[in-house]
Amino acid sequence: MADSLILEVADFEVDVLTGIYSEETGKPQPLRITIQAAMKPIDRYSPDTPLSASKNYMDLKFAASDALPPGLHFKLIEAVADHICDTLFLQDARIEAVTVKIFKLAIAEAGEKIGITLTRQRR
C-alpha cells in the first residue's frame, strides 16, 4: 500500500449564498464544512522539514471562504463543493484528491446533519 498524506480542516462554518427555495435565495446560509486534501508525502518528515514539503492548512479553509466568489449564488451545495475542489487543484499541483463534506445548518430541525460529501480526483 502506498504512503499517503491527508490534510484536513474540519467543522468550520461559513455563510454562503445557496439554495433553491424562495426562502433560501438572496441571503447567505450557514454551512459547516470539512475538507480533506490528499497528496503524496515526501519520504520522511523530520523536525526541521519546511512547510514547502507539505501544504498550509489555511489554504484549505481559504478555498471554502475567501475563494468563493462574493455575490455568487450556488443553487446546490454540490456546486460549492466542486468550487472548493477546483480551487485546491488550481492552488497546488501536488493535490491528488479532495473530499468536501458540507452540512446545511439552517434546515436542521432536530440537530440532524443534512448535507453531502463530494470526492474528486485530479483529472
For the segment 52-90, what is each residue's pLDDT rounded down to a tens digit?
999 999 999 999 999 999 899 999 999 999 999 999 999
CB 64 within 8 A of CB 82: no
Q: Which domain covers residue 18, as residue numbers? A: 5-121
Q: What residues contact 98, with CB distance under 8 A and at least 6 apart?
A: 35, 36, 37, 38, 84, 85, 88, 89, 119, 120
Cα separation, 58 vs 72, in Å, equals 22
Q: pLDDT per residue over 16-42, tens digit each?
A: 999 888 777 788 999 999 999 999 999
Report how many domains make up the chain: 1
CATH of the domain at 81: 3.30.1130.10
